[in-house]
Structure 1
């Protein structure tokens, strides 16, 4: 217990997280009647709100997104199950990816053709795969949230001085009042990421499941730290910049699942432009430039400054990597005449569909 207390005291050291000559008591909620400092105790609120969001999502998917998807011709077809063959099931439980030699061996062992074994493997992989309608509803929910979050963020930031002059993020720092609209913006945003941590376990399973789980947790930790240290002004700008492109990404996938390929291609093209403008343009040359170069000229630096900037730079590195994937997909799409891939956490959505179609063609 003593080790735990010692660790906590060192971790939350004022010399690390606060500017010089500032203490935790100075930015406590009750420290001033004129300034409404952020309250770290409020960070518990996003957890129950996350379950409210999950309930809202369930209701929207059942009573709105599903009927809309069906009206667009998306069917809720259950995938065909693979026949029960114990030897193949045992091999599948050992490894989901079979090499050609393994397929040959299983075919000889069971007196089956290689094509029959390959077809069984394809059916086995697909029998637990969610239907297109399920994936459409999932994307519709995320698209709806990002649209709401972006509009809400722009609306509440429109009259905030730091939207128009980013140096205002550091005026009187860390003694800045958090308004009720910014409070709700932060709480709802954190709630959404908490809900993703829960829903990820029953949503469409992706190849980078754990990477995205760690990403959601890291996002929550970063938001919590920025709330505790009163860096919510920069945090609000980062949130609104990131929501813009995500709306279009989810909308493109909805169009893809609905069978509107040309609409999907158009949205994806717009998404690519918006992504590059916001993630490779505005984020580094507006936000990062201010936090890394301009901020030290306005406020005295402290260790947490380097922690936050390090995390933001890491985010930029991810943006650059994802931009490479987007451009690669856009190039392939131009050559193919339509979008044939996807990026980031849903990279397997379209690629697996196209692979499955190719396998069916081979069988025929």
Structure 2
């Protein structure tokens, strides 16, 4: 079993795949030259940071974005349809019944056609994510993307590869990682960990599976780029995505 585990490890981290010819992983280890190089174990820092980010998110949603949402007239309580086994059974068969079905249900329940139409309308809205909830969640994500984007722009102003992308490849894999780049990457990685975890606590939406795939793919790409020191191009990719993500979050909530 130990031999199989070692063989799998060597296969996955094959130097012939990840690194240029005649290079080994030992060359990416930190030396006594005062320059830091990305190490795969660094990503464990992001796990602890994700907990902190999740706590900050709770504070912002409850203390800042929730009062703003209430000031816009958004309601946090969803109106629920009265319990009615006959109508509930019909709802499971078809959420928007035909006029013939409504007439039949009216005779079975002694309710008027208008009352049944109202019941189905309320019942459909009951399963939807409340606009207030979407507002708080999107506001947090939009706020984070806005802040991290402009921090990323500021941080890149003194980085040579920001002005000449060819430097993302020149000298690789011997690029060192400045302290600000290190924390920029860790915070971004931690944020996507928190997003992945929050999918299981937030109201489940239609794109639940797609978002899991998206966040996992993002974490894998960031993790692999960090592991083989493709950090320079990684920061530029993050910067480009963050530039539009805040605007996309604003467009999600429609009043």
Assess same fold via TM > 0.5: yes
CA offset at residue 114 of structure 1? Answer: 6.7
Q: The residue matched to 1:33 in structure 2 has which SS? A: coil
Residues paired across the two proteins, number: 253
Q: Would the aligned equivalents of 1:130 and 1:204 in 2 still touch at CA under 8 Å?
A: yes
The 5-angstrom pairing of residues 133-212 of structure 1 reads 133-212=132-211
The 5-angstrom pairing of residues 180-259 of structure 1 reads 180-253=179-252, 256-257=254-255
Q: Distance in 2 between matches of 1:249 and 1:88?
A: 38
Structure number with the bigger relative contact order (C-alpha 8 A, sep ≥ 6) is 2
Q: Distance in 2 between matches of 1:217 and 1:103?
A: 44
Q: The residue matched to 1:45 in structure 2 has which SS? A: helix
Q: Which residue of 1 aligns with 2:6?
A: 5
Q: Which residue of 2 aligns with 1:110?
A: 108
Q: Would the aligned equivalents of 2:87 and 2:105 in 1 still touch at CA under 8 Å?
A: no
The 5-angstrom pairing of residues 1-364 of structure 1 reads 1=1, 2-30=3-31, 33-71=33-71, 73-90=72-89, 92=91, 97=95, 100=98, 103=101, 107=105, 110-111=108-109, 117-253=116-252, 256-257=254-255
**Structure 2 unaligned runs (5+)?**
none
Q: Would the aligned equivalents of 1:69 and 1:137 in 2 still touch at CA under 8 Å?
A: yes
CA offset at residue 221 of structure 1? Answer: 0.4
CA offset at residue 222 of structure 1? Answer: 0.3
| Alpha-carbon RMSD | 2.6
Of 11-20 and 117-126, deviating more is 117-126
User: Which whole-Å deviations, capped at 9, do the CAs of 1:256-275 have from their partners, x for residues lacking one?
Assistant: 43xxxxxxxxxxxxxxxxxx
User: Which whole-Å deviations, capped at 9, do the CAs of 1:331-350 have from their partners, x for residues lacking one?
Assistant: xxxxxxxxxxxxxxxxxxxx
CA offset at residue 115 of structure 1? Answer: 6.1
Q: Would the aligned equivalents of 1:103 and 1:118 in 2 still touch at CA under 8 Å?
A: no
Q: Would the aligned equivalents of 2:162 and 2:236 in 1 still touch at CA under 8 Å?
A: yes
CA offset at residue 4 of structure 1? Answer: 3.3
Query: What TM-score comes out, normalization by structure 1 length?
Result: 0.63
Query: What TM-score comes out, normalization by structure 2 length?
Result: 0.87
Q: The residue matched to 2:74 in structure 1 has which SS? A: coil
Q: Distance in 1 between matches of 2:114 and 2:4?
A: 61
Identify if the C-alpha distance between structure 1 residues 77 and 45 changes in structure 2 by more than 3 Å, giving closer, same or farther. closer
Q: Would the aligned equivalents of 2:76 and 2:133 in 1 still touch at CA under 8 Å?
A: no
Of 225-234 and 35-44, deviating more is 35-44
**Structure 1 unaligned runs (5+)?**
258-364
Q: The residue matched to 2:21 in structure 1 has which SS? A: coil
Q: Which residue of 2 aligns with 1:308?
A: none
Q: Would the aligned equivalents of 1:82 and 1:123 in 2 still touch at CA under 8 Å?
A: yes
Q: Would the aligned equivalents of 1:135 and 1:204 in 2 still touch at CA under 8 Å?
A: no
Q: Distance in 1 between matches of 2:166 and 2:136?
A: 41
Identify if the C-alpha distance between structure 1 residues 239 and 100 changes in structure 2 by more than 3 Å, giving closer, same or farther. same
Identify if the C-alpha distance between structure 1 residues 180 and 77 changes in structure 2 by more than 3 Å, giving closer, same or farther. closer
Q: Distance in 1 between matches of 2:102 and 2:61?
A: 44
Identify if the C-alpha distance between structure 1 residues 106 and 142 changes in structure 2 by more than 3 Å, giving closer, same or farther. farther
Identify if the C-alpha distance between structure 1 residues 47 and 102 changes in structure 2 by more than 3 Å, giving closer, same or farther. farther
Of 195-204 and 149-158, deviating more is 195-204
Q: Distance in 2 between matches of 1:141 and 1:181?
A: 23
